[in-house]
Amino acid sequence: MKKIQSAGKSLWIYDWTAEEIKAYHKELNPALVAFSLQTDTPDQAQSLLETLKKTV
């Protein structure tokens, strides 16, 4: 994924869980990545958003 982004290309990640995104998002350039996922609860979605906001 880093190699793809280093070539200036974007990623669309659609099969990761919220926990996987939390674990790996720091390694990716946020300007070149889009996540598409479902969460089990609104609280889980909010937690993920808060985590992502902290690193931007």
Whether residue 5 has pLDDT greater than 90 = yes
pLDDT tens string 25-56: 889 998 999 999 999 999 999 999 998 888 76
- In angstroms, the CA 7 to CA 54 distance is 26
Joined tokens for residue 44:
């889980």
Joined tokens for residue 13:
């990640």
Could you tell me the CA-to-CA distances from 49 to 3, 9, 18, 39 in Å, in that order?
25, 23, 10, 11
pLDDT at 43: 95
H-only helix segments in the chain: 2-6, 18-24, 42-54
pLDDT at 55: 73
Whole-structure pTM value: 0.74
Domain around 48: 2-54
What is the tally of structural domains in the chain? Answer: 1
